[in-house]
Chain A
Amino acid sequence: GENVEQHPSTLSVQEGDSAVIKCTYSDSASNYFPWYKQELGKRPQLIIDIRSNVGEKKDQRIAVTLNKTAKHFSLHITETQPEDSAVYFCAAGGLDTGRRALTFGSGTRLQVQP
């Protein structure tokens, strides 16, 4: 089955700096790679996703890059703000109905220092 590894487990940056979180996956059949943000005591919320036919996707201060050959993908947050502080999860899987759609990384706790 799929195995997703996520690094680092914790990340502390100064407000305004950039943050990068990296994930690797094992199953070459995976074709969908979402990123979730989870604030304390709340449910995971999708912030951005990428599909295997795309190498990079941006949404304002957030971007995701995908290297299918190397089986890794990364989340980039620019101009970080205190409200970006949360736990971020990467995931990998297929979009086929009926498959075990997503395998999650273990999470990265991001702290943005004002």
Chain B
Amino acid sequence: NAGVTQTPKFQVLKTGQSMTLQCAQDMNHNSMYWYRQDPGMGLRLIYYSASEGTTDKGEVPNGYNVSRLNKREFSLRLESAAPSQTSVYFCASTPPGETQYFGPGTRLLVL
């Protein structure tokens, strides 16, 4: 099992550009999450998906959209990137009743 995978590992964008961060898990988990991690801020929840076809906002959803394409994949889209979105983005998935498993992260720099 690859666990939770994320692509790309690193991305540089110019302000106003768009991009999609991809996340996939092969553990048959229902729940998936997107977090951002900024220095000194811990991990903050952007969006989550309890099951295929459902998504809900987290603590910091503004500027982002998500899509739960199927049970395996949960993507995060930045329609018009801003410097404030420079961060490390982590995807995670959870089996029922257990803790979250994190992907390796995507480092995003918005100039």
Residues of A within 8 A of B (CB): 1, 6, 9, 32, 34, 42-46, 49, 89, 95, 97-107
B contact residues around A99 at 8 Å (CB): 50
A-B contact count (CB 8 A): 60
Query: How far apart are the CA atoms of A105 and B94 in the complex, in Å?
Result: 19
Residues of B within 8 A of A (CB): 30-31, 33, 35, 40-45, 48, 50-51, 54, 56, 58-59, 90, 94, 96-100, 102-105
B contact residues around A103 at 8 Å (CB): 45, 59
Tell me if B43 and A100 are in contact (CB < 8 A): no
B contact residues around A100 at 8 Å (CB): 45, 48, 56, 58
User: What are 22 A-B contacts with C-beta separation under 8 Å?
Assistant: A6-B42, A32-B99, A42-B104, A43-B90, A43-B103, A44-B43, A45-B102, A95-B97, A95-B98, A97-B30, A97-B94, A98-B31, A99-B50, A100-B45, A100-B48, A101-B94, A102-B45, A102-B100, A104-B44, A106-B42, A107-B40, A107-B42
Chain A residue nearest to B49 in the complex (CB): A98
| A46 and B99 in contact, given A97-B50, A107-B42 (Cβ under 8 angstroms) | yes
Tell me if A49 and B99 are in contact (CB < 8 A): yes
B contact residues around A43 at 8 Å (CB): 90, 102-105
* Most A CB within 10 A of own CB, among B44, B56, B102: B102
